[in-house]
Chain A
């Protein structure tokens, strides 16, 4: 596909693909970003499931801002990684699944924030209702699957 070739021929793509340190550097940024995005999300959802109940859910939400910044880092580094070999990744099942799972994970997080989390102040004793917990389990599984798919990109 033409637009994929155009991406691959951009200066950034060539730098990532051909310089000695371009690829490892971008990959390292991607790993660091992942640690903070998925890490903070995991902890947040674990709190929803009832771990560390002393922690205020509303106050914990402030940590999501850090996760958002880390996501931006991963969006940028991910884009740089993608364009370096766009034709390969675009058609690769592991990449497609990962991308889909991330979009799904983001949508669910946004829905969660707008609906269940909006009432967090009313949760008796700070305990999340069952629907929020189910949401948390599903979200956890999606993000864990996204990491797995991401790892498999290297193998397929």
Chain B
């Protein structure tokens, strides 16, 4: 199985624990990452849901790199958190649920890619979106809000 002790004694884990300023700095970056991710995603998802129809879905789709960038910041900072205290997170119910929900967002993304993405890239200002697009967008928002909630709850379920 996964060797938590090895992860804990890794140089990355040691680094995060070594200086008091590292963890709060990582937390701030983690919050920033989630804001970028959610902000870009919110603009796209709300448009797919039919809000602000003056926006072209094909145009707001161009915010995608910011979703990825936000996610990347959080993946890196998240790995660093984990390395610093793997036993804490590995056995934490909120953390586990958070990881599960992130996997679900990934599945939702795959579904999006194989169906609605093409539609979105062609859709101009004022266009209506399919029911499928609306479902995927709603799921995206709901699941990511769940991710934030689980993340926030990590210290409180220990």
Contacts and interface: CB of A to CB of B under 8 A. Distances in A.
Interface of A: 23-24, 27-28, 31-32, 34-36, 38-43, 46, 51-52, 54-56, 58-60, 62-63, 66, 144, 147-148, 151-152, 155
Given A24-B156, A39-B38, A58-B54, A52 B60 contact: yes
A1 to B, nearest CB: 29
B152 A42 contact: no
Contacts, number: 106
Contacts of B35: 34-35, 38-39, 42, 147
A148 to B, nearest CB: 5
Contact of B62 (A38, A41, A55, A59): A55
Contact of A32 (B27, B52, B148, B156): B148
Interface of B: 24, 27-28, 31-32, 34-40, 42-43, 46, 51-52, 54-56, 58-60, 62-63, 66, 125, 145, 148-149, 151-153, 156
Given A24-B156, A35-B38, A56-B59, A63 B54 contact: no
Given A39-B38, A62-B52, A62-B54, A151 B27 contact: yes
A62 to B, nearest CB: 4
A105 B153 CA distance: 28
